[in-house]
Amino acid sequence: MTTNLHPLHIRRVLNDTYGRRWDAPREHGPDGWSYVLPPITERFTDGTAERHSGRSVIVSCADHDGDEWVHASLAGTETPTYVELTWLHRAVFRDGYAYQVFAPRDKHVNIHEHALHLWGRLDGTPALPEFSGALMVLQDGQVRVVERSI
């Protein structure tokens, strides 16, 4: 399959960040890949055990309004953490821009109760203005813009 994505790189980063082995990537749609991290139970010498839930990732690429966009989702039996979402970002978007979208209620789609999603342009360029130069802070009961040196 011809793809705009880098499925083995994504798997390698997921393996490294989770410290566990993800299954081999499987084709998913016309330009996409899916990955599964099977659940495991880790047993310790003292007789205790710790259950690690499984995870699944779907990554796809498609044209929207003339730009190639990447969608990445991370799901499991529990909602992924913020840290896991940063791992997904690093695996799929490397150091490019990606966004989590909060749509109006009438446009919201929820296929999986415990899935989080990121979207970004294939080339990693921003789709929103650069906000990192100024921060809104509360000083003396007033909201002020503070310029931040980068």
Q: For the chain, which residues make up each domain, given as ranges?
A: 7-147
Report the pLDDT value the prediction gives residue 62, as an integer from 0 to 100: 96
Q: Which helix (H) or strand (E) holds 13?
A: helix 7-18
Give the C-alpha separation, 28 to 25, whole Å: 9
Query: Is 70 exceeded by the pLDDT of residue 78?
Result: yes
Q: How confident is the model at residue 53 (pLDDT cuts 50, 70, 90)?
A: confident
Report the pLDDT value the prediction gives residue 135, as an integer from 0 to 100: 64
Report the pLDDT value the prediction gives residue 126, as an integer from 0 to 100: 95
Mean pLDDT estimate for the chain: 89
Lowest mean pLDDT among 47-51, 84-88, 105-109, 115-119: 47-51
pTM (two decimals): 0.82
Query: Is 80 exceeded by the pLDDT of residue 82?
Result: yes
Which is it for strands 67-76 and 55-64: parallel, antiparallel or unpaired? antiparallel
Q: Which residue has the tokens 């410290």?
A: 19
Report the pLDDT value the prediction gives residue 148, as an integer from 0 to 100: 59
Task: Choose among 63, 61, 39: nearest CA to 50.
Answer: 39
Average pLDDT over residues 28-46: 89
